[in-house]
Amino acid sequence: MQCLKACPRNFSDAYVSLFSRQPDDVVMKTVIVHELRRRLAEYHLIDKKMRKEYGMSFSEFKKQGVVGKKGNSFLVEEDYCDWELAIDGIQSVSAKLKELEKYL
């Protein structure tokens, strides 16, 4: 994997101190997939929290114009942005995982 050759020695040293072994291509691929799965879980948690708080899905939230109905409050607008980011993250990270997992 080109990444191993291009990474500064500090990364390799840090890896060895954490895992007591030298990194290899399989390990690097696995680390990347685990990080994507962690992000996906985080995005799902945000979606779940917002669904519970507002009692609807993000598409319903947008369709019903909840931000406007709540007087464009900063907190509701912030929730909108966070929720939209989570939904986009779920879609993009899921697609990336599907693409990469076939190489493991």
pLDDT tens, the chain, 104 aa long: 455 556 666 777 777 777 777 777 777 788 888 999 999 999 999 999 999 999 999 999 999 999 999 999 999 999 999 999 999 999 999 999 999 877 76
Number of domains in the chain: 1
pLDDT at 87: 98
Domain that holds residue 53: 2-101
> Which H/E stretch holds residue 23?
none
Contact 39, 79 (CB under 8 A): no
| Predicted model pTM | 0.79
What secondary structure, in 3-state letters, does 41-76 show? HHHHHHHHHHHHHHCCCHHHHHHCCHHHHCCCCHHH
Residues near 53 by beta carbon (within 8 Å), at least 6 away in sequence: 79
Residue 47 CA: distances (Å) to CA of 25, 36, 42, 51, 64 = 33, 17, 9, 6, 17
> Which H/E stretch holds residue 104?
none
Copy the structure tokens of residue 39: 């992000």
Q: Is 24 helix (H, G, I), strand (E, B) or coil?
A: coil
